[in-house]
Chains A and B, each alone.
Chain A
Amino acid sequence: MMERICDLAAVPDGEILRVELSGYRPLAATLLDGRVYVFPDTCPHAAESLSKGWVEDGRVVCGVHFAEFGLADDEVVNRPVGCPDLVKFPVELKDGAVYADLSKAEAA
């Protein structure tokens, strides 16, 4: 099910926008090399908000333990023990807005 996430213009290039949608746990969006990525705001390792981190070398960096999650791929650098990959939701752009398939997103 595609959900409207935000306006395309609101997605920052190289930084991470936190998005709250009712019914879902907080989401995050970023623009990298002209492509929009939507993923859970909560670091898959634990409880930190990824939007408090940053994007570096094509990877989202968590600001607490510095795990780095590839956006265009599933590579994880500095993976804390037991930390899963970062899920990226399928994205569509329509009428100047960002939509994502949140069927695999965690409900609030």
Chain B
Amino acid sequence: MCKPDMAPVYPQASSYPHLADLIRSERAQVDRRIFWDEEVYKAEQQQIFARAWLFVAHESQIPDPGDFIRTTMGEDDVIVVRQRDRSVQAFLNACPHRGNRVCMVDAGKKARGFICNYHGWSFGIDGALRGTDGKVYDTDAHFEKAQINLTPVAQIESYRGWIFATFDPDAPPLTEFFGPFTFYLDAFLDNDEGGTEFIGGATRNLVDCNWKFPAENFVGDILHAFWTHQAGAAAILGGGVDLGPHYAERAFQASVFGHGIETNLDKVGNTRTLGYPELVQYVFDRYPAMVERLGETRARMVGAIGSCTIFPNLSFLPGQNTVRVWHPRGPHQIELVSWTVVNRAMPEHIKELYRKGVMMTFSPGGVFEMDDGENWEYATRTNRGFVTRHQPLHYALGLGTEAPEKGLPGHVCRGSLNDANQRQFYRRWSEFMRHDNWGDLQAAETAPPQHQEAAE
């Protein structure tokens, strides 16, 4: 007699050298077809979003057993649930019977389980099938309930309260996926006792752009602020964007495995743009404690002009305290979900000022968010033109600025006005297209330079 095998299926990666070659690192160029072609998008789902560790939730969003939040990993709808033993698990939001979604809401508290609306199949918060409609299957002697679950992600891990998951059973542990980039992450996730929390819910909006434009913007493009954000900055600061020439020598970009941060080391430049002098003062007041905790360089990063992307699609802005995921929705659209992040230890009124400041700047109606959105939309849409999308794009600012510095892990370049991190981001993208295994992926060019590992 035939018997269904309901074990999870995690799709295998392949190798697409012809897509990998769309990144022309030797010429500092990127082929525009990566922002437009369906074939590329399809390969990204398989090579990147079905393999990489992806951000799914912050621990503070689901504090108690049964608390859940819905998100997507690539285009896969996922439910992230706090278990009774307080661990966190994540499942595909799709019934293994006919594939209907089992959870219709964005988030909830203390769920008892998830019931499919189609035939009444009912799953516990642990994903196990607890029962069906209760009439027909229970009289079917060959029906094996124990074999049936909501499909779990292959791995799920938390780093300082930030929860990531992957559909690849072979993916290395999360901290290996970050590599020594955790050095920079810790400046934001761990600059005060108790770590971070998300406050005030999420904002959510659609932008008609390819997901890589915002990801590369946050990985290392502070250059655009001079032009794009002049008017918005003037409205809040009373003047244009000024990166401060006296910081030019301190500013740098750093990248590991395609993750990247650019920072001006100016202590408060980003925080200042939220428009509340009290917040600027708060960051200054905490500076000595942060130096104690993180050392001078990282303490200067906390509120500074800077931006960061964790490959592939999680980004945040130090000092402005907005966190966001650029969820791909086809090659020409993203769903942008963003949150305000604060330190748990901050006084309530300081948290509230950050929340308001984020809403005024980086929300669907924020002055900076709107500045960016239109640029990314047209950077995508122009590629509708067949001839247009065959023209290469220029990523050559700051060639030859590599400046390895003791104590700064990864590929480090002088100056934050630089395409260095964006080149690394696309190099990583190319590696994901080319390699079908993690051994090659973690030994590829974007890996931290060898001599550093020996030094640490």
Is B112 an interface position by the 8 A CB rule?
yes
Chain A 24-67 against B: per-residue CB contact (8 Å), 1 yes, 0 no? 00000000000000000001011110001000000001011110
Q: A64-B122, A65-B115 are in contact. Are A46 and B134 (CB under 8 A)?
A: yes
Q: Which of B112-127 contact A (CB under 8 A)?
A: 112-113, 115, 120, 122, 124
Is B138 an interface position by the 8 A CB rule?
yes
Is B133 an interface position by the 8 A CB rule?
yes
- The range of chain B's interface size is 10 to 19
Separation of A63 and B124 alpha carbons in the complex (Å) = 8
Which applies to chain A's interface (DSSP): helix, strand, loop or mixed? loop
- Nearest CB of chain A from residue B283's CB, rounded to whole Å: 46
Chain B residues within an 8 Å CB radius of A64: 122, 130-132, 134
Please, could you name 26 A-B residue pairs with CB atoms under 8 Å apart, sorted by A? Answer: A43-B134, A45-B134, A46-B131, A46-B133, A46-B135, A47-B131, A47-B134, A47-B135, A47-B138, A47-B139, A48-B134, A52-B130, A61-B112, A63-B112, A63-B113, A63-B130, A64-B122, A64-B130, A64-B131, A64-B132, A64-B134, A65-B115, A65-B122, A65-B134, A66-B112, A66-B113
Residue of B whose beta carbon sits closest to that of A64: B131
Chain A residues within an 8 Å CB radius of B131: 46-48, 63-65
Chain B 293-326 against A: per-residue CB contact (8 Å), 1 yes, 0 no? 0000000000000000000000000000000000
- Nearest CB of chain B from residue A107's CB, rounded to whole Å: 19
Residue of B whose beta carbon sits closest to that of A80: B120
**Residue among A48, A63, A64, A66 with the highest chain B CB neighbour number at 10 A:** A64
5 smallest beta-carbon distances between A and B, as pairs? A46-B134, A64-B131, A47-B138, A64-B122, A47-B134
- Nearest CB of chain A from residue B78's CB, rounded to whole Å: 22
Which applies to chain B's interface (DSSP): helix, strand, loop or mixed? mixed
Chain B residues within an 8 Å CB radius of A46: 131, 133-135, 138
Separation of A47 and B131 alpha carbons in the complex (Å) = 9
A46-B135, A66-B115 known; 14 new pairs, CB 8 Å cut-off, are A43-B134, A45-B134, A46-B138, A48-B134, A63-B113, A63-B124, A63-B131, A64-B130, A64-B134, A65-B115, A65-B122, A65-B131, A66-B112, A66-B113
**Residue among B113, B131, B132, B138 with the highest chain A CB neighbour number at 10 A:** B131
Residue of A whose beta carbon sits closest to that of B135: A46
Residue of A whose beta carbon sits closest to that of B124: A63
- Nearest CB of chain A from residue B127's CB, rounded to whole Å: 14
Residue of B whose beta carbon sits closest to that of A61: B112
- Nearest CB of chain A from residue B362's CB, rounded to whole Å: 39
Chain B residues within an 8 Å CB radius of A65: 115, 120, 122, 131, 134
